[in-house]
Amino acid sequence: MMQMKLTTAGILAAALGLTACTDPATIGTNGSNTQQGAIIGGIIGAGVGALTNDSDRGLGAATGAIVGAAAGSVIGNQLDAQERELRQSISNDGITIVNTGDRLIVSLPNDLTFATDSSAISPAVRSDLNKVAASLVRYPNSLVQVIGHTDSDGSASYNQALSERRANAVADQIQAGGVPYNRLAIIGRGEDQPVASNLTPEGKARNRRVEIVVIPQG
């Protein structure tokens, strides 16, 4: 009986073909992240399957692709649902939510969250942080990075310490909302990862932020 031989390169080419068929206009919208998650999971699964010691590595890659695609689809569905819930529950328009397909990034502008040079959380966002914490409790299968960022004003060492204090303050508020501490990774980036130019007041305001990054675990 003739067996069809599947190669890792062939499976990867097929997966990349699926990626090419994705409508760019739908990227980042509800539903499309489920498809993206399945594609990403399939590619990873194919690679893992191909590294097995099976006599037919093509079959191993195919099996890995199927399993990986299923896991990626589950993660995509979870992110889409959690994103919808957060958008409905968070009342402050200054807080942004980005769904990349493999994680959620909730960005808190420092000018909204903290007073100048302070790491005390403003009452204006405390309620919304409690809602984020409640969402994390409802979706327990994820790791959460809390990352502080500053603009370039002041010394780099001061900005680094300030970003750490602010990340810790947000993490403490999330933990108080019921999220176990062992799910949290607290990181200070200081001025090292700007998202806009530090040459304008508008750019500096965008760079001053704390990000809550939700990374689902399969």
Give the model confidence (pLDDT) of 151-162 as tens digits.
Answer: 999 999 999 999
- pLDDT of 142 > 60? The answer is yes
Asked if residue 167 belongs to a domain, the reply is yes
pLDDT at 42: 55
Specify which of 37-51, 65-79, 125-139 reaches the highest per-range mean pLDDT: 125-139
Domain of 183, CATH number, reads: 3.30.1330.60
Q: Which tens digit of pLDDT belongs to each residue from 93-123?
A: 999 999 999 999 999 999 999 999 999 999 9
Contact predicate 207/198, CB 8 Å? yes
Q: Look at residue 96 in the predicted model and tell me its pLDDT.
A: 97
For residue 6, the tally of other CB atoms under 10 A from its CB is: 21
pLDDT bracket for residue 54 (50, 70, 90): low
**Which residue from 78, 138, 131 is spatially nearest to 104, judged by alpha carbons?**
78
Give the largest CA-CA distance in the chain: 74
Q: Domain of 122?
A: 94-216
pLDDT band at 53 (very low <50, low <70, confident <90, very high): low
Residue 184 within any structural domain of the chain = yes
- pLDDT at residue 40, as a whole number: 54
Kindly state whether residue 84 falls inside one of the protein's structural domains: no
189 assigned to some structural domain: yes
Question: Is residue 140 in a domain?
Answer: yes
Cα–Cα distance between 218 and 111 in angstroms, integer? 35
Separation CA 117–CA 30 (nearest Å): 37
Is 71 part of any domain? no
Q: What DSSP assignment string belongs to 96-111?
A: EEEE-SS-EEEEEEHH
pLDDT band at 203 (very low <50, low <70, confident <90, very high): very high
In this structure, is residue 38 part of a structural domain? no
- Asked whether residue 11 is assigned to any structural domain, the reply reads no
The tally of domains found in the chain comes to 1
Reference 152, options 108, 118, 203; nearest CA is 203
pTM value is 0.70
